[in-house]
Structure 1
Amino acid sequence: MSVFKPLSKLYLKDSSNIVAKWYIQISIEVTKMNIRKLSKDEMDYSISMSEFAFQLELTDEQRQQRKDMMNPEETWVAVENDEIISKVTTLPFKTYIQGKEFLMGGVSGVVTWPENRRGGLVKTLLKKSLEEMKEKEQTISFLFPFSIPFYRKYGWELFTDKKLVTVKKDQFPRFPKRTGTIRRVSKDYELLSSIYEKFAPRFNGMLVRDKKWWNGRLFANMKGQMAVYYDEQGEAQGYLAYDVKHRVMKVHELVYLNTDAWKSLWHFISDHDSMIETVEYKTSANDPALFFISNPLVEQKVEAYFMARIVDVKPFLSQYPFHLAEGETVVLHVEDEFCEWNNGTYFITNREVKFFEQAKEGASCTHPPKRGVTCTVQHLTAMLLNYQKPTTLLYFDAISGSENEIKLLEKVIPAREPAFYDFF
């Protein structure tokens, strides 16, 4: 891409007077910008960019771990005068939505050198990334935002919050000892994954974790101990990842498949009362478990967490398991300023999804629709991941449509809560 100087009016001073002259400067190339993929020999430079941007200081071991997890083909870069000045990485994941696996593009490592910011580089790289996600049939994308308003401009929307909970020693739940046993275990991928993969599909947005992710990201960064609850039949039904330091137990993950597992793991936590004063743990914002302890008046802090964006609406809707009865039809008019291929009307039945591309401006059929729900792609994402109800969005004028059609849409969206336990 070439950048040219505009028509300019230059004032030249000669020996007698100041003469205004017009100079037309045509095709004077100032700089060359190249958008391409990261190369293998640029991986260290890319890591250094992230270190600077996110104010990290990696050890040699941590740097090597990152390189081992990296694939340069997953990163788009903007290069100026043979120097990388901006980058965006898209990691290939799968996520659970309404109990089904969806291909997901995880946007990460969005970095631009400060002197090159506000020039539209990230916008360009995000567009390239979304186009590539569409080609790879990654119908949804997740990211952790450095700025929520910034990513909302490009169609991402919040889909989950996290709750930070602090429980003091006198608030520890004191459940009776359950049947079954708890054992400390090593960082065993097969064992822990077998529990997690039964737990995760209960929520919208949970990551499908493969062996590489467990070993290269989770175990590499997970400090402390692992404990697993086994029922009377010897089946693993829950696990706890935690560490204890300075009389504080930090629970990194608490995963359970039934009530016995949850109560037994909390009984195990309470047994540490001689060496800890508080327990700190992170959970999903809608986690109901605290309601069932004897003293739920604990310190809780809820924070916005990850954002999501439907990349390709038609195939996403086709895979999504709406609870539609025979003869019911949901009509959606979707607006997407950044990914124009999504603009249009979708007729959804229990058999198929039909898509009608948005008529071009000025065409005879561009009158307002007489039926259906009109929404942006980000509000559609928030509704289908069950982060916001259609009736709530209607109340705040975020979407439009008749009351009956809004209620139908809300009825056919399954009720799984959103959650996300990972980070990238």
Structure 2
Amino acid sequence: MIVRKLTASDHVSLQKLWSICFMYSINVEELEKKAEDQKEDPTGYGAFTEDGEMIAGVIGNRLTMNFDGQKTPLVGIGGVVTHPSYRKGGAIKAIMKELLTKAREDGFIFSGLYPFNHGFYRKFGYELSRDLETYTFSFTLISKYAGEVKTKLLTEKDDRTFLHPVYEAFTKRYNLAIDRNKDAFLRATQSNPYAANDYTYAIYDGDDPSAYVAFYKKDAEHESILCVRDYAFRSEKDFIKILSFLSRFSPEFGKIEIALPSDIPIALLSSNPYDVEKKVNSRYMTRVVNCEKALSMMKRYIPSPFVIEINDPFLPENSGKFRVWCGGCEKTEEKADVKMSIQAFSQMMAGYAGFDGTLFRDDVELFGNYETLKMVFPKTATYLGVYY
């Protein structure tokens, strides 16, 4: 088995592999014609037989996410596939080893993915880092917010990039939030009200855009649901403006469905919290690719130095003891205050459970400095904003 970086000539082979494994139809002739003009290499790695047949592939999307208010390199894993005839042969393990090693060398600090199976990716150092919390509630619960709100319906022909600063301001609140380039932002805020019943509204504070909301109609058994698929706001008051505007659609819809970060207390904002339904989907995993850099990047109050030992058998160069203080981090041989696996560390850095929650794991040992560690690693709300 040969593992190497994918090149432009591998586009068709990768598409054919996806077609076989994900069971969808493709037009090979059309793909081959398009491939003739395809000059850009896919950002990923493949595994090949000695005869050159592609048997597995992984895409490594080069992304940027927010970490403690800083734009931080993230390699987003996607398109993971192995030909059924070659499964159980270690192809993905070999690819992930090569991909993550190179990503670390290239300056990436975090990696993330949407797993088909959490246990499979834990073998490579990933751990659950975010729950998708989706709420469904009736319009009567937000009727108290009804009022005057200045809005504008956008169409597919309208420029929507003027809303991008709103998204930037919103996502700066949350670790893990992924940057959107122009194309990604335009896809997320697409608005085709007439042909597709897909709507994006800009919301204003005076003459300045301060929020936006994008939604579509979903038909349920006995009612229609207003499904919010994207939104952003500059401040808490601007989120209330979103609720105020959405309350106007009560004649057309029975309920609202919206996914929210955990720091937005929708039940507390509702007139009858009993009527708020919540669905949780634990669907996103991350892993730290460079522990030393991640620790040194933290913008948090650290009352006293601490030493953390991290064990990363999949990327041994990422293991070690690290002495951390306010504004810095270095490798050390000092006695550790806490010892943990890369999975536990990655989950803690994402803010998923906080240090107290991390202590419930069987791959964490605490030796001292509890108060400092508890303060430095709190449980925090997160957001993604991009599906890759």
Question: Taking structure 2 as the reference length, what is the TM-score of the superposition?
Answer: 0.88
Q: Distance in 1 between matches of 2:63 and 2:95?
A: 19
Give the 3 Å change call, closer, same or farther, for CA 229–391 of structure 1 in structure 2.
same
Q: Could you tell me which residue of structure 1 aligns to residue 183 of structure 2?
A: 212
Q: Could you say what secondary structure the match of 1:85 adopts?
A: strand
Give the 3 Å change call, closer, same or farther, for CA 94–70 of structure 1 in structure 2.
farther
Q: Could you tell me which residue of structure 2 aligns to residue 274 of structure 1?
A: 251
Match of 1:242 among 204, 215, 228: 215
Match of 1:352 among 305, 318, 328: 328
Q: Could you tell me which residue of structure 2 aligns to residue 251 of structure 1?
A: 228
**1:117, CA displacement in angstroms?**
0.7
Q: Unaligned 5+ residue runs, structure 2?
A: none
RMSD: 2.8
Match of 2:165 among 178, 194, 204: 194
Q: Could you tell me which residue of structure 2 aligns to residue 20 of structure 1?
A: none
Paired residues in the alignment total 373
Q: Could you tell me which residue of structure 2 aligns to residue 231 of structure 1?
A: 205
Q: Could you tell me which residue of structure 1 aligns to residue 298 of structure 2?
A: 320
**1:406, CA displacement in angstroms?**
2.8
Contact in 1 for aligned 2:132/2:259 (Cα 8 Å): yes
Q: Could you tell me which residue of structure 1 aligns to residue 371 of structure 2?
A: 407
Q: Distance in 1 between matches of 2:348 and 2:288?
A: 11
Matched, 1:386 2:339: no
Give the 3 Å change call, closer, same or farther, for CA 270–55 of structure 1 in structure 2.
farther
Q: Distance in 2 between matches of 1:59 and 1:248?
A: 36
Q: Distance in 2 between matches of 1:74 and 1:123?
A: 17
Q: Distance in 1 between matches of 2:114 and 2:326?
A: 34
Contact in 2 for aligned 1:306/1:420 (Cα 8 Å): no
**1:371, CA displacement in angstroms?**
4.0
Q: Could you tell me which residue of structure 1 aligns to residue 151 of structure 2?
A: 182
Structure with larger Rg: 1
Contact in 2 for aligned 1:323/1:413 (Cα 8 Å): no
Q: Could you tell me which residue of structure 2 aligns to residue 17 of structure 1?
A: none
Contact in 2 for aligned 1:323/1:414 (Cα 8 Å): no
User: Which amino acid in 2 is paired with 1:38?
Assistant: L
Q: Distance in 2 between matches of 1:259 and 1:69?
A: 45
Give the 3 Å change call, closer, same or farther, for CA 157–396 of structure 1 in structure 2.
closer
User: Which amino acid in 1 is paired with 2:66?
Assistant: Y
* Worse-superposed segment, 251-260 or 88-97: 251-260
Contact in 1 for aligned 2:354/2:378 (Cα 8 Å): no
Q: Could you tell me which residue of structure 2 aligns to residue 291 of structure 1?
A: 268
Q: Unaligned 5+ residue runs, structure 1?
A: 1-32, 358-368
Q: Could you tell me which residue of structure 1 aligns to residue 286 of structure 2?
A: 308
Give the 3 Å change call, closer, same or farther, for CA 124–398 of structure 1 in structure 2.
same
Q: Distance in 1 between matches of 2:202 and 2:231?
A: 10
Contact in 2 for aligned 1:284/1:420 (Cα 8 Å): no
Q: Could you tell me which residue of structure 2 aligns to residue 76 of structure 1?
A: 45
Contact in 2 for aligned 1:74/1:90 (Cα 8 Å): yes
User: Which amino acid in 2 is paired with 1:237?
Assistant: S
Contact in 2 for aligned 1:189/1:211 (Cα 8 Å): no
Q: Could you tell me which residue of structure 1 aligns to residue 61 of structure 2?
A: 91
Q: Distance in 2 between matches of 1:42 and 1:35?
A: 13
* Worse-superposed segment, 82-91 or 412-421: 412-421
Q: Could you say what secondary structure the match of 1:72 adopts?
A: coil
**1:69, CA displacement in angstroms?**
11
**1:88, CA displacement in angstroms?**
0.8
User: Which amino acid in 2 is paired with 1:229?
Assistant: I
User: Which amino acid in 2 is paired with 1:290?
Assistant: A
**1:169, CA displacement in angstroms?**
4.2
Contact in 2 for aligned 1:391/1:407 (Cα 8 Å): no
**1:133, CA displacement in angstroms?**
0.6
Q: Could you tell me which residue of structure 2 aligns to residue 376 of structure 1?
A: 341
User: Which amino acid in 2 is paired with 1:344?
Assistant: G
Q: Deviations over 1:274-305 (max 9, x none)?
A: 22222222223453233212122222110102
Question: Taking structure 1 as the reference length, what is the TM-score of the superposition?
Answer: 0.81
